[in-house]
Amino acid sequence: MSRYALLLAPSANRVYADQAGRLARAELAAFGAVLSSDISDIDALLLGGVEYLTFTASLSPRDISYLSNLSSAYALFERVDELLKPLTLTPLARYDSDLITIPKYAGKTNEQFTKLVLNLTLLASASAGRMLDGGLTVLDPLCGRGTTLNQALMYGYDAIGIEVDGKDVEAYKLFLQTWLKRKRLKHTADLVPVRRQGRRAARRLEVTMAASKDDHKAGAIQKVTVLQADTTQLDGLLRGGVADVLVADLPYGIAHGSYDDQGGLSRSPLDLLERAVPHWLPLVRPGGALGLSWNTKVARRELAEDILLANGLEIVRHEPLAHRVDQGIERDVLIARKVG
């Protein structure tokens, strides 16, 4: 067994950075599900005035590849006596990082946190062992302008999003298409109407892309689909079992809300969750997992868990991830698995 030291990445969000060590500890523990070695003695340690996360394990090359994708990983070292031996990280990064970092808009979720929630959801699913191998599909049924979709693309996965706001769908199309053209990557992007029972029920953005010309020639193409539709009214718009994992950032009840059955704006994430989960579950394959984040100031955790349990999901326990975002938002993460 060896002792390791993980240097955490600096965060652009000061409030998030203040709690990054605790969140990284919970995420590191979750990665234990796919590593060949047990992780023990996780602790914070100051070395040269810089905080590291230290732990004991016996890491194989594939284990290091897994840990390279920790949302807060900046550098990994093996501790040899009082020295630090650097280990090469090989994160999944199919595209340049500006695919994630360029978009800036009000209400955007911190991209480091988005990656953390996606990681936890993948690790709780039946697809955990395939995390490094591609070929997975991520669904975000409240995708906004696509932060989670872009993170899925970075991992080499396909992505499906649902967003009721047409302006957000158009903004995402404009960004992604402009980015792909600037990077000179082979792609197609079409926004077309979708009809149900002879009437237009939604709009569908279909994007195909490849990370290089060689990938395109070899057929290694990724797909992004975004439906402009109400996430609680999806009958006939998507086939069942399209996603390996579902990740969603529920309305925080501050700047974001959702529409209720009468067409009014609701600020309650629990109201949305109760109406949406029965529509979401058929889209997730057996053994898939759901990862949800929300504002605990407007919705208690136990009530959110009750909704998921009532729909036959199994709650996946992890170390505490609740943290302050700002004066009006205390954010938490809830992971659940689809069984059977």
pLDDT at 252: 80
Rounded Cα distance between 228 and 163, Å, is 5
Examine the pLDDT at 248 and tell me if it is beyond 80: yes
CA-closest candidate to residue 164, choices 195, 140, 188, 148: 140
Rounded Cα distance between 280 and 91, Å, is 30
Examine the pLDDT at 274 and tell me if it is beyond 60: yes
Beta bridge partners of 200: 195
In tens, the pLDDT along 151-176 reads 999 999 999 999 999 999 999 999 99
Tell me how far CA of residue 147 lies from CA of 54, 176, 226, 307, in angstroms. 30, 11, 13, 26
Examine the pLDDT at 257 and tell me if it is beyond 50: no
Please name the residues in contact with 37: beta carbons below 8 A apart, sequence gap of 6 or more. 1, 57, 58, 59, 60, 63
Longest dimension (CA), the chain: 72
Tell me how far CA of residue 230 lies from CA of 60, 145, 272, in angstroms. 45, 15, 11
State how beta strands 83-87 and 137-140 pair: unpaired
Examine the pLDDT at 219 and tell me if it is beyond 50: yes
Rounded Cα distance between 112 and 16, Å, is 9
Region 288-310: mean pLDDT is 95
pLDDT at 104: 78
CA-closest candidate to residue 151, choices 249, 64, 33, 228: 249
Rounded Cα distance between 133 and 227, Å, is 27
Predicted confidence band of residue 255 (pLDDT cuts 50, 70, 90): very low
- Which residue is listed with tokens 């709009």? 203
Please name the residues in contact with 192: beta carbons below 8 A apart, sequence gap of 6 or more. 203, 204, 206
Percentages helix, strand, coil for the chain (3-state, rounded to 5) are: 30, 35, 35
What is the enclosing helix (H) or strand (E) of 100?
A: helix 98-101
Portion of the chain with pLDDT greater than 70, in percent: 93
7-11, 50-54, 94-98: least confidently modelled range: 7-11
pLDDT at 13: 58
Tell me how far CA of residue 330 lies from CA of 3, 10, 11, 111, in angstroms. 34, 21, 18, 17
Predicted confidence band of residue 15 (pLDDT cuts 50, 70, 90): low
Tell me how far CA of residue 97 lies from CA of 31, 93, 179, 265, 284, in angstroms. 23, 8, 12, 35, 28
Is residue 206 a contact partner of residue 252, using CB atoms and an 8 Å limit?
no
